[in-house]
Structure formats: C-alpha cells, structure tokens
Structure 1
Amino acid sequence: MKKDFFSFAFLLVSIISSAQEFTRKDSLQGGFSFERTSFDVQRYDLNIAINPEERTIVGYNDITFKIVKNTSKIQIDLFENMQVDSIIFEGKKVKYEREFNAVFLNFEKQLTSGTSDKKLRFYYSGKPLVAKNAPWDGGFVFKKDNNNQHWIGVAVQGTGASLWYPVKDSQSDEPDFGASIKVAVPNGLMNVSNGRFLGSEDLKNGYTRWDWEVKNPINTYNITVNIGDYVQIHDNHDDLDLDYYVLRINEEKAKKHFEEVKPMMDCFQSKFGKYPFVEDGYKLVETSYLGMEHQSAVSYGNKYRKGYAGRDNTGTEIGLLFDYITIHETGHEWFGNSITSKDIADMWIHEAFTTYSESVFVECLYGYEKAQIYLNGQKLSVANDRPVIGQYLVNNEGSTDMYYKGAQILNTLRHIVNDDEKWWKMILKYSETYRHKIIDTQIVISFFNAETKMNLTPIFDQYLNYTTIPVLEYKIEKNKMEYRWKTAVADFKMPIVLFDSGKEIRLNGTNDWQSYKVKKGEEVSFENKKFFIRLIKV
C-alpha cells in the first residue's frame, strides 16, 4: 500500500523555485526518515476524554504496527506543548526522547522486519492548540451554540494531526485496518467522529463515552471529534447510509437543505465511481467553522446557505446554485481521502481534482455550458504567485493556486483530449485505479500520459512548477498567420484551437514559430475559454 515513488525532476524544480529556508523541525514533520519508514501503521485505537471547561485532553492511543525494516527506534509525533505521560510496549515502559514535535521511542531489543501486530499504548495529556481561524490554521475550536451548550471541533490539515493526539503524522502512512475513536465528554453532550457509531457508555463520573469505528484506511488529519448538542437525521440513498448531525435548533432547516446530497452522490458516483467509504457511511456534521473534508464525517459550517459562505466567488452567479461546502468537501472523499498524496507538497492532487468536481456537479445538473462559465469565473482567482507544488520532505504546501489553477489544468486536459466520452472514462479509471492508494505527482502524470497516449509531462510541468501560464504568441499579415507557444518549459507542445471565418481549426503548437494560411486575417479568433492560456499578438 505504501510506495516510495518520487520524481527527481519535479523535486529539483521545486527546490530551486523557492528561497524559503527550512529547519530540522520541518524535516522531522515532513520527512521520511528511517525512524518513520521502518514501520507501517496497521491501526489506531484512540481513547480520550475532553474537558470543555478546562480545554484539556487526557487518554491514550493504541498504535498497532508492522516492522518493515529491522529497527530499535521509531518516531511517533506529538506537539511539544502536549505531555507524554508514558509509553507502554509489551508490558514495559519505553524510554523516549523528544525533539520539537517528534517523540523517538527506544526499544530494549531490536524489532525484526516482517513481524506484525506489534502494539504500543501511548498515554498523553494536555491543552491542545486553539485555532485562531479554523480551518485555515490548525487547532481546536471551543465555542458555544445558541443555547449556551459547548460546541467543539478540530481541523488540522497541514498543521498536523499530532497537534492533538500521538500519531505517525505523515500522509505517507494511513492505518491499513482503520481506527476506533472513543471520546468521553460531559453528560448531555454528544461526540461525533469518523465511521460508524458503535454505542455510548455512561462512565458514572459525569462523562459519557461515544464510540466510533472506521473500517477503511484514513488520513490521520481526517480523524476528528465534534462535540455538541447534536441531533441525528438519518437517510439512505442507493444502499448508502446518509447521516446528518446538526445542532438541535437547526434540525428542520437541515432536513430540507441537505436534499442536495442525493443528486450530488448520483453525479459523483457516475463520474468518479462508487462512494469510497460505503462501509463507514457518509455523514455531514455541523461545525462552527466553515468546513473540512473529514473522511466519512464531513465538517459542515456553511450555515445552510448556497455558495461559499453565502456568496459566489466566481463572479458568475452559478456558484449560488449549490452549497459550496457540501459539494467541495464531499468531492474530497474521492480526491484526498480515497486518493491521497504522499507528501503535502503534492496537495494539488487533492485540491485540483476536488475543485474540478464542483464544475462536474454543475455540469451534471445544469449542463456543459454553465460548467464552463463557472470554470472561467474561477480563473480570476488564480494568483500565479508561487508554484503549485511545494517543497518535498519539509511539510510544505505549494500555492493556494492548487485549487483554481488546478481545476484549470484539468479543464485544459479535457479539451486537449477533445473527446468527452474518452475523458470521462479516463477520470473514472483514475479514481478507481488509485482508490484507497497513496500517490505522487509523477504517478498522476504517468497515468494521463498512458491513457491519452500523449506526452503531457511538459504541460503538467509548466502549470505545476512555474508561475507563468502558456502564452500563445501570434502575428497575422494578410493571409498568413505565424504562431508559437512561449513557455518556461522546453519542448512544450499543446494544441491551438482557432476559428478561421467561423470554422474551427486545431493546430499542433510548439515553442517554434509555425505558419498557417488563413482565409481572412481579420476574421481569425482563438479558443481561450476551454484552455488556461494567455494570448499575445506580436
């Protein structure tokens, strides 16, 4: 399940393209040291109590793992502000040392490659960091609802799951056999986590423990808690359980608003394949922050409005036809949660496909033309400030252009392929081929190269690793047009679509000047809405 594929070319470009300096702390969190790669996590069993008044966590995580390389030392991660109470392995306390957010466990005897079902219990406690502006910065959110009841959530994408529990904090290793999340909260409150609800138990100390079970592999940043005065709304669609956990005051509003989920599921399953986590069900959980793609427990905080926080961020009005958070965050179930990037430097693999899924939903319900208008509206939000790919091995994401520019890459590829039947088969095959797998940029590129039988590598390279987009330079004199692509990448080839006296012509554009005889120069125009390019007449 875990594979070490990296593209040296993309790594080199990414390193050169940024002058940002990184530290040992960054390498410990983002790197793939021997202390991390020597073992493979099989399962997490989290058992904690959360005190809302004191904002504390106390409990343990049982970590089941397999040894893949002989070792006597492994790395588990826990933010340095959290307390390590003790670590137990085979009935004995394990000696450990801490460096920044890394905890290095030193075993008395060497653990031998091939041995599985090893288990350690990591006891811990402390006050986890509180987010200043979730979900854009990581941490817990402690709020009260309109009835003055505690309303608590957590979002840690990018920041790291080790902010609140001990874990191998890397997207490169998901627990192969899922996880259990047992969370005790004060009586009268409920905790909703990932997967299926197994039951609750009154602990006779003023707390009730809520038990949840995840059957599928899960990104560690996706493991979540949601504490509040929730009510459950249950539904089912084509044998998929749909559950909505909402604040009591919003129950009736939620029943009507979440009717959008069924056509969304129909659309996504037709284009991307079966919902990836049927065994764990699908949930929307109301949160006080805007949203997050927590696997099988999607965080929803859009306040039952259409658009993005009640507005259309494309300037097209099409964004007001649907609830952005429901659609976007659910799209992540396929792209990000099922298909996961090994390194967060490749987070475009999550965000590009998921942002594109918004337009897929629009196309399913409202047609191709509206989807293209929506996509073209997103172009206005592309900053071209930094490369889309971040720096590898140091827990560094690339530009937020991974969202809108990423979607433009896919729309451009669709029109390079120029065959919608082939395109949708390709997207479906991509989703199903890498279902529940951890991949990287090179794997994505190799897939599309193979499926299209084209060399798309320079196109991906230009869009992902450079802040400039392809520029179509052209000049027309009488009945002769000369044209070329101007790019930072050498040997760049991409079709050019033009209209000559109303007739569509496709030309094979390169970095070299080429010529084409036109009927009437003044009647020539270029297709630039279906491609993410610039036009410059020279």
Structure 2
Amino acid sequence: MAASVLLAAMTTACTGSAPHTTGSSSPTARPGAAGVGDALFPTLGNGGYDVSHYALTLDYVPETNRLQGTATLTARATQGLSRFNLDLAGLKVRTATVNGTDARFTREKNELTLTPTKAIKNGETFKTTITYDGTPKMIEHSDGGTEGWIETDDGATALGEPTGSMTWFPGNHHPSDKATYDITVSVPKDEDGDPYDVVSNGELKKEEDTGRRVTRRWHSDEPMASYLANVAVGYFEIHKGWTSDDLPVYVAVDPDESEDAEEVKDLVPEITDWADERFGPYPFSSVGAVVDHLPDLGYALETQTKPYFDSAPEDTLLVHELAHQWFGNSVTPRRWKDMWLNEGFATYAEWLWQEDHEGESAQEIFESFYDGTHPESEGIWDFPPTDPPSPDRVSDSPVYGRGAMTLHKVREAVGDKTFFDILRSWTKRHRHKNADTEDFIALCEAKAGKDLTKVFDTWLFGESKPKDT
C-alpha cells in the first residue's frame, strides 16, 4: 500500500429468523472467539475455524449502488463449535445456512454470529452460505481517507486494507486466515446498452453476455488474505500480454488515464521480470494492474495479482505495489503490527529499482532518509516500525521508510550475496503462508551465521533516531 488507511467504527444490528436451536449437542463444542486477539485490531477475524475457500456471487447495479450477494465459505473447525462469528459491516443478511441447513443468526456491530442446528466437530470441514443485500459502506476516516466499497465516476471498486473487505462480503477478515477465491460479478448494461467491465483477482474463467447483463467469474487458486480481494466495475481498456517466463499479464486502464498510463502495460512485465531475479519466482499464476480514474482516493493498494491505482502510476509506485506480491501477498504478516514486513520491503524494492536503473543508489536514498531531506522521511522516527501505537498509525511513515532503512542496514551487515539470498529464502520458505518479525530475524541470523541483535535493536526496535549510521 502507498498511503495510510485508518480504522473506522461501524455499527449494525439485526436478528435472523431461522429456527432457534442451541447448536451445542456435543459436550466438547463451545463458541468460537469473536476476534483473533490482534493487538491493533482485536475484533478483526474470528476464532475456532480456518477458511479455505470463498465463493462470492455478486449482483451489482452501478446506477443505484445496490449490491446483492451470496457468500459460500468452506472452512475447517479448529475446535468443536456450538456457534461461530463472521465479520460483516452494514448490509442486510437475509438467510444463513451451515452444511445446507438453516442456521440462527444475530448481528451486533460488525459481528455476525451463526448458531448451526448441529454442533460442528473439531477438525470437521463445513460450508456456510450467507445471502445479503443493501448499499455497501464506504468507510471514511478522519484524515479524509476512504476504504471499503467506493463509488467511482463510472462504477465502483472494493478496497480492503485494513478493515474494508467486511463492507462487501462476510468472512474471517484477518490476514492470518488466507483462502482461495471465486468471485463472480453480474452487472446490468448501462442506459446506452454498453457493458461494464468487471475486473478482480486471479484469472478470468467465465465471461457471459446475456444481452442485458454481463457476468464475469474470476478465480484465485493461490491463498489470499481478504484485505487483498478487489472488484473494480467500470469502463476499462484491457491490455493482455506475457512476461518473459510466459506468465499472463492483464492490465485494465480507465480511458481517462489512458494517455498517462501508456507505459504501464509494458512496465508490469518488465518489473515482474526484474523482481523475479531479485526476490525469487513470482508467486502467482498471473500478474497485472488496474489503473482507475479516482484521483481523490490518494493511495494505491497491492490487491493480489492486480494492484489497484487511483490514477496513472509512476514507475516506482508500480514497483512498490508489484513488490508486495512477494512481500505481503504471498508472505503475509501473521499480525498487523508486522506491517513493516510488507511496507518496508516494498519501499526497499523501490530503492533497489532505482539503484539498478541508473538512479540514486540505495545508500544515497538511505542517507536522505536519515538526514530528513527525502520527501517521504517526515515522521520516520515517531515510533519503531514494529510497534505502531494505535490502529490508525499502522501505515505511518516509520513502517515504510524506517522499515526500508532496517533492511539496508541488514544488507550492509551481511553483504549483498547473503542479503539477496535472505530475500529469496524468505519468499520461498513462507510462500503463500504467514510469517512474523521473529521469523525474519531468525532467517537473517541463520544465513549470516552471526548475531544481528545490534542491527535490529538499533534500527527496527529502537525508540529514537540513532546518533550515527
């Protein structure tokens, strides 16, 4: 991500009308936790189960911003469950079933609680289907930023970091629970009979035009954290191509950005090929970008396989969001306080790109951050990158700039050969998994064969600016 996104408080309440049963016939069943206990976002996610797949079927009307949805979650219980929760903000839940049988449901704020007619056994794989509708929320923050379901001048887009995905589908919305996705979206044609484009994560598996409506089904075969799920509805120019390794490229550009984004279709495969050499094999089965026309949004987001841009990006921003496909999307933080593993790495990728393309060296950029002369260096000493003081600061400048500075000091301490071996080993060892800061430090010390406590204590965990470099 390339700008801060803040937490918002959202409230809804309703009660389902399914027949009431306790769902606690098993003596070992108990309620799943209504949150994973994340230090920054304690109510996000839910306990007692892991989702393996989301099948989302959406019907969206751009003219009225009306959304109807059916979400089917395939999950495995990690305990006996008498009831369990999903995260959902706004929208009206119409029905809920567990394993094909009606389930009782209640709503309190962003928690949707389901009580199945029969308790779910520990280790059991089960399916939950929710039907819902309404006008999805656009979450507005005190700094003017937005996330969630956002209307554009010709449609809408869904952006989910850190909480916005719950505004358009129910789920276990914490990055520690990754899953595969099928996202099918049906949209009526506009008043002139022209079809809207629908772009989402992964690969386009089905495209149907019934004369009045268009439907597209996108499939993501590799696990994805829910905050990286995206749908973009609007009018786009579609550019298809290939990387040098025959990886399919899909770039969607709003016509209003076409001239300024002319190079994007060529830069995406070029940057992907470059990053493949630096960071290891690209972790997904396709790559691309969505360049929308939403200039007031103020940020880009690393939505999986196709990062989202509110306007035509410069090459370094494109590098940043594509680097996230390795750092953040494939290797995903286990907890939100470790966001520096996303943003510090993607920021350092920008430095490496400039160093490799006749720009400033990473050392020169490091020095400009340390001296405070770099335009992105303001506030980098406000707190340690691993310790954002509140949810609304999880994407502040220390997480980006000082995170990148830490990586540069590790590189300096271990040498280039070992450093790039560390990066490639990191993306290989934790491919499509979750990891944390402790995992990274352990890998660095194992590869370097020495204690790096001083480096990390000074640059990553230190409370203030070091006196010298």
Aligned-residue CA RMSD (Å): 2.9
CA distance in 1, matches of 2:59, 2:9: 34
Counterpart pick for 1:167 among 171, 179, 190:
171
CA gap of 1:76–1:395, structure 2 versus 1, over 3 A, is farther
Deviations 1:254-301 (A, max 9, x none): 444432233322221111011110x2x111111224421000121123
CA distance in 2, matches of 1:282, 1:391: 31
CA gap of 1:161–1:135, structure 2 versus 1, over 3 A, is farther
User: What secondary structure is seen at the aligned counterpart in 2 of 1:162?
Assistant: helix
What residue number does 1:480 align with? none
What residue number does 1:74 align with? 84
What residue number does 2:339 align with? 347
8 A Cα contact 2:238 2:252, kept in partner: yes
CA gap of 1:393–1:324, structure 2 versus 1, over 3 A, is closer
Percent identical residues: 25
What residue number does 1:484 align with? none
CA gap of 1:434–1:43, structure 2 versus 1, over 3 A, is same
CA gap of 1:297–1:23, structure 2 versus 1, over 3 A, is closer
What residue number does 2:254 align with? 247
CA distance in 1, matches of 2:188, 2:328: 33
CA distance in 2, matches of 1:325, 1:142: 23
CA distance in 1, matches of 2:457, 2:144: 30
8 A Cα contact 1:70 1:111, kept in partner: yes
User: What secondary structure is seen at the aligned counterpart in 1 of 2:46?
Assistant: helix
Bigger RCO (CA 8 Å, 6+ sep): 2
CA gap of 1:230–1:431, structure 2 versus 1, over 3 A, is same
Q: State the shift of 1:395 in Å.
A: 9.2
CA distance in 2, matches of 1:215, 1:395: 32
Counterpart pick for 1:108 among 104, 117, 122:
117
CA gap of 1:413–1:439, structure 2 versus 1, over 3 A, is same
8 A Cα contact 1:345 1:395, kept in partner: no
8 A Cα contact 2:67 2:133, kept in partner: yes
User: What secondary structure is seen at the aligned counterpart in 2 of 1:216?
Assistant: strand
CA distance in 2, matches of 1:446, 1:174: 24
Counterpart pick for 2:421 among 409, 420, 425:
425
What residue number does 1:270 align with? 277
What residue number does 2:18 align with? none
CA gap of 1:55–1:24, structure 2 versus 1, over 3 A, is closer
CA gap of 1:458–1:395, structure 2 versus 1, over 3 A, is farther
8 A Cα contact 1:389 1:399, kept in partner: no
Is 1:219–2:228 an aligned residue pair? no
Unaligned runs of 5+ in 2: 1-7, 12-32, 190-194
For residue 196 of structure 1, what is the amino acid of its counterpart?
A: E
Unaligned runs of 5+ in 1: 1-21, 145-149, 307-322, 473-527, 529-538
Deviations 1:41-98 (A, max 9, x none): 110000011122222211111100112211222111101x221111112332211222
TM-score, length-scaled by structure 1 = 0.72
CA gap of 1:131–1:100, structure 2 versus 1, over 3 A, is closer
What residue number does 1:198 align with? 205
Alignment of 1:59-138 (within 5 A): 59-79=69-89, 81-116=90-125, 118-132=126-140, 136-138=145-147
CA distance in 1, matches of 2:117, 2:104: 8
CA distance in 2, matches of 1:253, 1:466: 41
What residue number does 1:326 align with? 318
CA gap of 1:151–1:23, structure 2 versus 1, over 3 A, is closer
